[in-house]
Amino acid sequence: MCSMEKETLKIGLAQFAPVWMDRAKTLEKALGYAGEAADAGCELVVLGGEAAIGGYPYWLELTGGAQFNSPLQKEIFAEYSRQAVCIERGDLDAARTLARARRIAIYAGIVEKPAARGESLYASLVFIDRDGEIRSVHRKLVPTYEERLVWGHGDGAGLRVHALDAFTVGGLNCWENWNPLARAALYGQGEDFHICVFPGGVHNVEVTRFIAWEARSYCASVCCVMRKEDFPADTPHLERILENAPAVLSTGGTCLAGPDGEWLIAPVGTEEKLLTFTLDHRRVREERQNLDVAGHYTRPDVLRLTVNRERQQIVELRD
């Protein structure tokens, strides 16, 4: 921070249960939290966890998702693909309009279906600025375990940070927050507020304190809640999905840690709610007095990271 920007940033962290496999209703619910955050004076809101809009693929481990050429798996996937977010089609236009009208930046986890990539889906984290412009779409680099059955591998195009007053914000999806090089790619761009999005699970979010302590940054993890009763009645093969499902599939865990690694908001359980907090950039500077992992504690003459931020595509058209 070189100039005299405002030193604080009020944030909102929205933990809720998506309307599973219903893009429009989930987006409507998410934007309700965005409006609530704007009413509370927030300048940035994170809307749910990983794949909140579109839905986490819970069915895979519950219905034999690895069975090849299964009619059941095909039918569920077909609907899952239909409910994914196509940015080029304008599926996020309502979020963009709200961001612009209320002057609030938005991070949202989505299941993305690019217009030009057939039926390949991605777990993506989207940043919309306060002018309503989509500034980055980060596709999860490597889906975790059974997620690879429905999500493709992402690329480095979305490994970007964004200035919000005194702060520089960035984020990653779920277990890629444990990827040291992905974190370093954001640290090296000046990130001092890191956002993790998880499908929901208190067991995952200990990484929040680790990242905050390592980077001397604020770090938030934002999660979803999902209970058996949250599945819509018209979900394809609902009885089969719920047959072996636990009562709670995503246990929440939304939380916030300060630049010293201590909890500012301890992990919240299965409650649907908006959490707010005002970040103070002075705390970042205080903790980086003795450790700055992208500044005075680096040795670029010895160790250096190269990041390819080209959007990967199979066809390059030249007319």
- Residue pLDDT, tens place only, 130-142: 999 999 999 999 9
Are the C-beta atoms of 235 and 259 separated by less than 8 Å?
A: no
Domain boundaries, the chain: 8-287
Average pLDDT over residues 13-28: 97
| 160, 264 Cβ separation under 8 angstroms | no
pTM (two decimals): 0.96
Question: pLDDT tens, 256-291?
Answer: 999 999 999 999 999 999 999 999 999 999 999 999
The confidence score (pLDDT) of residue 2 equals 57
pLDDT band at 204 (very low <50, low <70, confident <90, very high): confident
Is the pLDDT at 1 greater than 80? The verdict is no
Instruction: Decide if 235 contacts 87 (C-beta within 8 A).
Output: no
Q: Is 318 exposed, middle or buried (0-12, 13-18, 19+ CB in 10 A)?
A: exposed
Q: Stretch 225-237: mean pLDDT, rounded?
A: 96
| Residue 3: predicted pLDDT | 55
- Does 312 score more than 90 pLDDT? no
Residues marked active site are found at: 50, 140, 174
Q: How far apart are CA 136 and CA 127, in angstroms?
A: 5
- Closest by CA to 155, choosing from 188, 185, 189, is 185
Q: Three-state DSSP class for 136?
A: strand
pLDDT at 202: 84
Rounded mean pLDDT of the chain?
96
CA distances (Å), 186 to each of 52, 124, 140, 190, 298, in order? 23, 16, 14, 7, 14
Q: What's the confidence (pLDDT) of residue 4?
A: 63
Q: Which pLDDT does position 61 carry in this prediction?
A: 95
CATH fit for domain 8-287, picks 2.40.50.140, 3.40.50.2020, 2.60.40.3880, 3.60.110.10: 3.60.110.10
Tell me which of 214 and 119 has the higher pLDDT: 214
Percent of the chain with pLDDT over 70: 98
HSE toward the beta carbon, residue 298, CA cutoff 13 A = 14
* Strand positions, DSSP E, 98-230: 105-112, 122-128, 134-139, 162-164, 167-173, 193-197, 218-222, 225-227
